[in-house]
Amino acid sequence: MSYITIDGVHYTKEEYEAREEEKRLESLAQYRAGLEAKAQAEREGQRVVGDLGRAYSAYEDFLKENPGLALHLKDEDAVHHKVCEDLLKKLKKADLAPRCGYIKVNGSTCASPRMKGKEMCYAHDRWAGVRPQKMDLPPMEDANSIQVGLMQVARGLLDGQLEPRIAGLMLRCLKIASSNVAYTNFEGD
């Protein structure tokens, strides 16, 4: 029997493959945990920005009601005031930037800003240009959409819409997509 030797340890082909699969799953789990942490940080960031916005509007209202107070601000406060104002303007502008109209297969909308004069973000606009014409396949951007892709192929086969040879090739594409999906990033960050 042939062995594969790594760091002085011998593995059979099956053991080696199991080890590789385990490593793949582990890195996938790590990647997902990273994504979840990122999403959590984004939610927290949005909450803080919301608080800042509300506090600042309250502050503005207060200044309107107490116009004399602004005159007593020290220079340092005036600088802070200006910084906050600029920041708020930028945040409002970013918030108002139209978002991509693509709806993911899990029902959530794409949060990326849309391109000027287009309905979608850069990634989804590009996807629209390469999508197959014969079948309504979603962009293979996450595990959900690959799952839907699999179901489309199964349905195509059963309904006689797809030749088995073509279905086989599509399954191979989906397999490649599923091993790539942990490393793809369509959100542009």
6-65 binders of Zn ion (CB under 5 A):
none
What distance in Å separates the CA atoms of residue 173 and residue 89, rounded to the nearest whole number? 46
Tell me the C-alpha distance between 13 and 165, whole Å. 29
Q: To the nearest whole angstrom, how small is the minimum distance from the Cβ of residue 100 to Zn ion?
A: 3
Answer for the pair 55, 87: CB distance below 8 angstroms, yes or no: no
Whose CA is closest to 166, among 189, 138, 135, 124?
Answer: 135
Q: How far is CA 9 from CA 12, 20, 148, in A?
A: 10, 14, 40
Interacting residue with Zn ion among 35, 58, 77, 100 (CB under 5 A): 100
- Considering the rule CB under 5 A, would residue 112 count as an interface residue with Zn ion? yes
Shortest distance, position 108 Cβ to Zn ion, whole Å? 11
What CA–CA distance (Å, rounded) separates 149 from 24?
A: 22
CB of 175 to Zn ion, least distance (A): 25
145 part of the interface to Zn ion, by CB under 5 A? no
Q: How far is the CB of 42 from Zn ion (least distance, A)?
A: 16
Residue 129 CB, nearest approach to Zn ion (Å): 13
Alpha helices in the chain, H assignment, sequence order: 13-65, 67-71, 75-96, 122-130, 143-158, 164-180
Q: Which two tokens stand for residue 171?
A: 């399954």
Q: Which is nearer to Zn ion, 7 or 136 (CB)?
A: 136
The region of 3-11, 16-24, 111-119, 128-136 touching Zn ion under the rule CB under 5 A is: 111-119
Is position 146 an interface residue for Zn ion (rule: CB under 5 A)?
Answer: no
Size of the site for Zn ion (CB under 5 A): 6
**Site track for Zn ion across 113-142, x = CB under 5 A:** --------x--x------------------
**Interface residues toward Zn ion, by CB under 5 A:** 100, 102, 110, 112, 121, 124
